Amino acid sequence: MGVFEAVYIISTVLVAAKIITDTRTASKTLAYLLLIVILPFVGIVFYFTFGISYRKNKFYDFKVERNQAIYEEVIRYINETNQRVLAENKEELSSFKNTIMLLANGTKSPAIGGNAVEILQNGEEKFERVFEVIRKAKHHIHLEYYIYDADEIGLELAELLKQKAREGVRVRFLYDALGSKLKKRFRKNMSEAGVEIKPVNEIRFRILANRINYRDHRKIIIVDGHEAFTGGINVSDKYINNGRGEVYWRDTHLYLKGPGVFYLQYLFLSNWVHTNEKLIGFDRAYVNNEECPENKIVQIAASGPDTKPAIMYSTVSAIHNAKERLYITTPYFIPPDPVLLAIKNAAWSGVDVRLIVPEVSDSKLVNAAAYSYFSELFDAGVRVYLYQKGFVHAKTMLVDDMVSQIGTANMDIRSHELNFEVNTFVYDKEINNNLYNDFMHDLDDCIEINAQEWAGRSKLKIFFEHLARLLSPLL
């Protein structure tokens, strides 16, 4: 045996042992093992670049510790609020009590009433409302974005943020260093105007940066602790369908006003503390509990490397409670096993289950992996639609006529287990009906996949799709 072969065998065995010891899920373990076997050395480099968990490392230990400190200051408010909402809405929420309690007990996120909620379609509606609310800011503006492009809309928003900072409003701005490639000059101009701007995970050498495995995929704006925006729409011209973008971009965002903003504020401040590695007091000025007459009930599900996979858990719980309909829109459908099984169980139980995904994704490999799931969805009775008008980027889920979920998380393993994500549950028939109408309207721009025709695809295509699925835990 030559030296090269010996080095390869020893390194592969050692890395395989580390993968088996450190990786939490069987599917991801097998995917990494397959990768290091079929792609010698390249697979090992890929694992050490993207695969090592930082959950046990000091980088996230600091964040978990500070999260707990913030929790303890608001724990009484959380418990009292959740119990009051359940008691006052016992009949309407009885079917979804388990989901509510899962989030309340598991992540300290209460169901909170007294909110105004508005569904915003596409960038055209989102940015008009965002500018309107930010212009009125008096105390603080907090932003956290995966993608913030310094293009026309990004520069326009930046100018407004700088203006508010000069007026004395405290502006804090977090961005993901992988998704937002903001140049030094842009950051310097923001800082000089008084905007506090920081990357959540600073990346100095992208090709060697393990932290890109944990992306801050959230999209959050909070104004004066009382108004907020969250959902699928980043800050970029491509999200606005007025000729700026190359393709029609179908997306969904949420405007929230009221006490429910509280938990989004907590999420932002905990990431701000993590980024700056310096504790700040939980100032009451950051929490405005004034209730709105609309009285919508909301609950925030958040996931990240510092928390439980609460989005996956709560999504599974809500699906299990479905009795009549389950309508899902997602740009990437590579579901973790618990989510896939819950969807199939719902369909087998007679629930009307429908799924909208893009006909063409921005990744052929992701597309192929998603396609590999369709046959078993058809076998369970799920109806699958391909969106054709452009690219559908919305991440929404409707359960019966009462529960809606709007968020940043794709229905894939990365969103559910690795990224910083945030989804909002809205327990309200009016909002559910609005999203239902949007879903039915989107079906006009879709084609439904015929199960028999789908089964007749070429063997080579099916093979490629299933090969891509083997790597799906890594996508």
Q: Which region, left, alpha or beta, applies to residue 464 given φ > 0 means left and ψ of -120 to 50 means alpha?
A: alpha
> How many CB atoms within 10 Å of residue 284?
9
What pLDDT score does 350 carry?
97
CA–CA dist 37, 81 (Å, integer): 52
CA–CA dist 70, 247 (Å, integer): 42
CA 149 to mean position of chain CA atoms = 19
> How many CB atoms within 10 Å of residue 120?
21
What pLDDT score does 62 carry?
43
What pLDDT score does 64 carry?
46
Q: How confident is the model at residue 18 (pLDDT cuts 50, 70, 90)?
A: low
**Listed range (3-12, 298-307, 428-437) with the worst mean pLDDT:** 3-12
| CATH for 310-474, options being 2.40.50.100, 3.30.870.10, 1.10.240.10, 3.20.20.70 | 3.30.870.10
Q: Which two tokens stand for residue 2?
A: 């030559």
Identify the helix (H) or strand (E) that includes residue 3.
helix 3-22
User: Which range scores top for mean pLDDT: 1-5, 70-74, 85-89, 445-449?
Assistant: 445-449
CA–CA dist 170, 468 (Å, integer): 46
CA–CA dist 449, 436 (Å, integer): 20
The bridge status of strand 403-407 relative to strand 391-392 is unpaired
CA–CA dist 335, 427 (Å, integer): 24
Q: Is the pLDDT of residue 17 over 70?
A: no
What pLDDT score does 280 carry?
65
Looking up tokens 């369709």 gives 374
Q: Is the pLDDT of residue 382 over 90?
A: yes
Q: Is the pLDDT of residue 371 over 60?
A: yes
Q: 220 pairs with which residues across the strands? A: 144, 230
Cα dihedral angle (120, 121, 124, 130), rounded to 10 degrees? 20
**84 vs 279, residue with greater confidence:** 84
pLDDT tens-digit series, residues 308-340: 899 999 999 999 999 999 999 999 999 999 999
The bridge status of strand 411-412 relative to strand 333-334 is parallel
Q: 257 pairs with which residues across the strands? A: 116, 227
pLDDT tens-digit series, residues 174-217: 999 989 989 999 999 999 999 999 998 776 555 444 445 678 99
CA–CA dist 74, 110 (Å, integer): 11
CA–CA dist 88, 387 (Å, integer): 40
Cβ-proximal residues to 281 (8 Å cutoff; 6+ apart), any chain:
none
**Listed range (21-30, 153-162, 374-383) with the worst mean pLDDT:** 21-30
* Mean pLDDT of the residues in the chain: 86
pLDDT tens-digit series, residues 53-90: 544 444 344 454 555 555 555 566 677 788 889 999 98
Rg of the Cα atoms in the chain? 22
Q: Which one-letter DSSP state was computed for residue 291?
A: P
Q: Which residues are catalytic?
A: 217, 219, 224, 393, 395, 400
The bridge status of strand 383-387 relative to strand 112-121 is unpaired
CA–CA dist 386, 405 (Å, integer): 21
Q: Which two tokens stand for residue 450?
A: 């015929």
CA-nearest of 173, 175, 234 to 202 is 175
CA–CA dist 370, 356 (Å, integer): 12
CATH for 58-96+113-296 is 3.30.870.10
Residues 280-289: what's their mean pLDDT?
73
CA–CA dist 302, 309 (Å, integer): 8
User: Judging by beta carbons within 10 Å of its beta carbon (0-12, 13-18, 19+), is residue 204 exposed, middle or buried?
Assistant: exposed
Cβ-proximal residues to 473 (8 Å cutoff; 6+ apart), any chain:
25, 27, 28, 31, 32, 413
Residues of the chain with pLDDT > 70, as a percent, come to 79
Query: Residue ranges per domain, the chain?
Result: 3-51, 58-96+113-296, 310-474
- Give φ, ψ of 123 to 5 degrees: -65, -30
Q: Which one-letter DSSP state was computed for residue 57?
A: S
Tell me if 326 sits within 8 A of 397, measured CB to CB: yes
Residues 276-295: what's their mean pLDDT?
79
pTM, full prediction: 0.85
Cβ-proximal residues to 44 (8 Å cutoff; 6+ apart), any chain:
11, 12, 15, 36
Q: Which one-letter DSSP state was computed for residue 148?
A: B
pLDDT tens-digit series, residues 383-413: 999 999 999 999 999 999 999 999 999 999 8
